[in-house]
């Protein structure tokens, strides 16, 4: 057995590994970045060493620095945790070269099974169904050829990545190049790798993973499956085990298939086989994660096994202490990832109350007075509960969420409460699209997705360019933080969504703005997506229905934001010149750049009752004119009276009104070109 282990990680996983090592009588070594000098893992470890500056590339991804410290302090093994270098075969090889045990698979297995293309080919040869996909050199012409062969929509992934990073969904060829640039950039930043592969994008699926353990003697254990379908921006936020959507016959077939695959590949250590399960219950292999998963703790809850302890025992050459028939699965376990939201200038934990109830644990690195760094993943901790039934586990989790208090920073605790109370989730009829259909945040405005549900026919909306995101193009202070907060809190990548849809059977191009995303302010990507919506309508010769909301142009993008006004105005005119109809729907408030461009240029303007519509805010106009304006100024009713709005209606009346207008236009009762 090892006498000293270095933990090449941070946060809650570093804390948990240290706890397990100490329970085994093993001394621990922590490494940390400058930003993490006061982190809990540095206080709990027997020794702590700084390995570099705050950015991960200069610290937690610095292989040579980590191994050098391990050698210098006499550590016999390195536990990589998850993320960072946990699946990096070069790091595992470097450990091996320096006579240090890497607690995980050997380098050659990491290289093969950690490579998504080789892993898929391996599984395919073993009879495991896989999703169609191919490795793509970073050559745009070759990638276009692969995408055409597979068929759109496609998904771009990092060949050796994980954690939702570098993933882009592409619906059409014109969006491919930007998506590739995005994926490659994230690969370089998070994994020191820029290799990508292309895969067919499947919809209406559940994300199911199977936890495996294998020792050096060839013994293999399957520790059950986990449902990880609740995701925000491709990152899991709730996991549960067992998966309530799978019956026991399917479960045993899945387990047998996984055990056979792990045995034949000669895998060693902890790992998960990741699958997408379609509505028929068929499984398609995606990838293998050759490491401990964030959500490993729920497996511990239902098996009463300590996975980190077993990892260490396997690495030390011990055989697994139990066999498959000895594993007893008990009850249900759920994990809610408590994430950091809305960063401030200082992010200090002022108050921390952790639930102390039976069958509940909170794995975290937080303590009162701690200043949370903003350089890394947003995970603050994992709230995990166990219950004899899924219903009881839900009840316990809601109770634990109500008891958990983290004051001083923003979190997603309220989001979790609302998800757990959602009927679709409670009835286990959710899939990976769940968070796009259900908006469980405390929102000020009706969301863009709710507008889709309110105004278009059920399941008719086909979204385009979902993954277009804004960047800090003029290096505006803290703009990246604000964008990340907006994405995390709304589950959208920008303040507008668009696509094709039907309204009472009539085909349209539909776009809707979301005021919960930075007040729906006009930014570069907002302008680009609205422009693309009209281009799509021109190509398909369809009318456009646009739901508008805005708090003005986005100051953080300066001139790039203002330029969108001219761009969108020009495409609206081009659409009109084709004799096509455009109806804008004014919601509260619609002001500034949106108002002055595409919102006010439609053929028919419909305003929701009580909405505010104008080119500038009331206060600015009053200060400029040095006079008080009427109380009704800029209301929908005022705008209609003065000829700026054609129709004022309640939101529940809008679909019927739009449908009547579309029917008239469809039957050519009038012609715009006459």
Of 10, 91, 98, 13, give the one whose Cα is nearest residue 311: 13
Residue with the two structure tokens 């896989």: 130
Contact 179, 155 (CB under 8 A): no
What single-letter DSSP state applies at residue 373? -
Q: Which helix (H) or strand (E) holds 313?
A: helix 307-315
Q: Dihedral sign, CA of 150, 162, 415, 426?
A: positive
598 and 530 Cβ atoms separated by less than 8 Å: yes
| Residue 186 CB neighbours (<10 A) | 20
Write b or e for each residue in 422-453: b if 16 or more Cβ atoms lie within 10 A of its Cβ, otherwise e: eeebeeeebbbebbbebbbbeeebbbbbbbbe
CA angle 37, 39, 43 (to 5 degrees): 90
Q: Number of C-alpha atoms within 13 angstroms, CB side, residue 554?
A: 29
Scanning the structure block, which residue is given the tokens 């016999």? 76
The verdict on whether 10 is a catalytic residue reads no
Q: Give residue 189's Cα distance to chain centre.
A: 17
Q: How far apart are CA 235 and CA 178, in angstroms?
A: 21
Q: Where are the alpha helices (DSSP H) in 114-267?
A: 116-125, 140-150, 176-191, 248-265
Is beta strand 47-52 parallel, antiparallel or unpaired with respect to 27-33? parallel
- How far apart CA 489 and CA 150 sit, in angstroms, is 33
Residue 663 to residues 276, 536, 643, 673, Cα–Cα distance (Å)? 41, 21, 24, 18
CA gap 409, 259 in Å, rounded: 43
**Within a 13 Å sphere around the CA of 43, how many CA atoms are in the beta-carbon half?**
10
What's the CA gap between 436 and 457, in Å, rounded? Answer: 17
Locate the DSSP E strands across 161-253: 168-170, 196-200, 206-214, 220-232, 235-241
Identify which of 337, 349, 338 has the alpha carbon closest to the alpha carbon of residue 39.
349
Helix, strand, coil distribution of the chain in percent, nearest 5:
40, 25, 35
Query: How far is Cα 178 from Cα 616, in angstroms, rounded to an integer?
Result: 34
**Residue given tokens 């108050």 in the structure block:** 351
Beta bridge partners of 546: 511, 584
Which tokens sit at 186?
């994230």
Taking a C-beta distance cutoff of 8 angstroms, is the pair 135, 159 a contact? yes
Please choose, from the candidates 504, 525, 505, the residue with its C-alpha nearest in 3D space to the C-alpha of residue 514. 525
Q: Rg of the chain's alpha carbons, rounded to an integer?
A: 27
* Given the residues 159, 226, 291, 524, the one annotated as active site: 291
- The angle that helices 448-455 and 654-666 make with each other, rounded to 10 degrees, is 60
Q: Nearest 5°: CA angle at 397, between 395 and 399?
A: 70
Q: Are 298 and 332 spatial neighbours (Cβ–Cβ below 8 Å)?
A: no
CA of 154: how far to CAs of 10, 147, 176, 284, 525, in Å? 34, 7, 9, 16, 21
- Retrieve residue 247's tokens: 């019956």
Report the length, in residues, of the chain.
674
User: Which residues are catalytic, by number?
Assistant: 291
């Amino acid at each position: 057995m090892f006498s000293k282990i270095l933990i090449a990680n941070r946060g809650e996983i570093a804390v948990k590994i240290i706890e397990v090592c100490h329970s085994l009588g093993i001394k621990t070594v922590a490494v940390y970045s400058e930003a993490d000098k006061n982190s809990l893992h540095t206080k709990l470890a027997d020794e702590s060493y700084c390995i570099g500056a705050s950015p991960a590339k200069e610290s937690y991804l610095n292989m040579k620095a980590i191994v050098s410290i391990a050698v210098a302090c006499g550590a016999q093994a390195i536990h990589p945790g998850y993320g960072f270098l946990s699946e990096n075969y070069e790091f595992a090889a470097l450990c091996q070269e320096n006579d240090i045990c890497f607690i995980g698979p050997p380098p050659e297995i990491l290289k093969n099974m950690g490579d998504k293309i080789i892993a898929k080919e391996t599984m395919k040869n073993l009879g495991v169904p896989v999703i169609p996909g191919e490795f793509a050199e970073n050559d745009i012409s070759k990638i276009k050829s692969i995408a055409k062969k597979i068929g759109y929509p496609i998904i771009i992934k990092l060949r050796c990545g994980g954690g939702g990073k570098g993933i882009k969904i592409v619906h059409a060829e014109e969006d491919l190049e930007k998506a590739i640039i995005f994926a490659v950039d994230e690969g370089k930043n998070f994994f020191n790798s820029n290799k990508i592969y292309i895969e067919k994008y499947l919809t209406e699926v559940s994300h199911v993973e199977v936890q495996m353990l294998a020792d050096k003697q060839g013994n293999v254990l399957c520790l059950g499956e986990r449902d990880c379908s609740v995701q925000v921006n491709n990152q899991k936020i709730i996991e549960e085990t067992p998966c309530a959507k799978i019956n026991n016959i399917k479960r045993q077939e899945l387990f047998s298939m996984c055990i056979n695959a792990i045995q034949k590949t000669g895998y060693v250590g902890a790992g998960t086989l990741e699958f997408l399960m379609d509505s028929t219950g068929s499984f398609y292999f995606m990838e293998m994660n050759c490491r401990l998963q964030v959500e490993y703790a729920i497996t511990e809850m239902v098996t009463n096994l300590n996975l980190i302890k077993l990892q260490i025992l396997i690495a030390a050459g011990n055989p697994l202490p139990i066999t498959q028939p000895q594993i007893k699965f008990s009850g249900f376990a759920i994990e809610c990832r408590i994430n950091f939201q809305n960063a401030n200038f200082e992010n200090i934990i002022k108050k921390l109350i952790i639930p102390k109830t039976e069958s509940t644990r909170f794995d975290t690195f937080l303590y009162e007075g701690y200043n949370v760094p903003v350089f890394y993943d947003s995970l603050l901790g994992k709230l995990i509960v166990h219950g004899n039934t899924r219903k009881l586990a839900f009840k316990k989790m809601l109770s634990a969420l109500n008891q958990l208090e983290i004051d001083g920073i923003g979190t997603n605790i309220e989001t979790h409460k609302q998800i757990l109370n959602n009927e679709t989730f409670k009835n286990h009829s959710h899939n990976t699209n769940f968070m796009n259909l259900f908006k469980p945040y405390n929102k000020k405005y009706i969301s863009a997705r709710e507008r889709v549900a309110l105004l278009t026919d059920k399941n008719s909306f086909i979204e385009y360019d979902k993954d277009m995101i804004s960047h800090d193009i003029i290096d505006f202070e803290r703009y990246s933080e604000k964008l990340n907060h907006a994405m995390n809190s709304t589950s959208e990548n920008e303040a507008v969504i668009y696509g094709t849809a039907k309204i009472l059977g009539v085909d349209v191009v539909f776009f809707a703005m979301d005021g919960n995303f930075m007040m729906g302010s006009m930014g570069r990507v907002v302008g680009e997506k609205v422009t693309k919506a009209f281009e799509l309508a021109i190509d398909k010769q369809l009318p456009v229905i646009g739901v508008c909301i805005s708090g003005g142009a986005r100051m953080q993008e300066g001139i790039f934001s203002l330029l969108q006004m001219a761009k969108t105005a020009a495409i609206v005119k081009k659409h009109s010149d084709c004799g096509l109809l455009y109806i804008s729907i004014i919601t509260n408030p619609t002001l500034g750049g949106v108002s002055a461009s595409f919102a006010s240029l439609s053929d028919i303007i419909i305003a929701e009752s009580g909405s505010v519509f104008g080119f500038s805010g009331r206060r600015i106009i009053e200060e400029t004119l040095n006079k008080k304006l009427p109380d009704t100024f800029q209301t929908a009713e005022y705008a209609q009276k003065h000829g700026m709005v054609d129709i004022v209606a309640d939101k529940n009346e809008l679909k019927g009104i739009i449908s009547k207008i579309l029917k008239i236009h469809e039957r050519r009762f009038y012609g715009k070109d006459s």
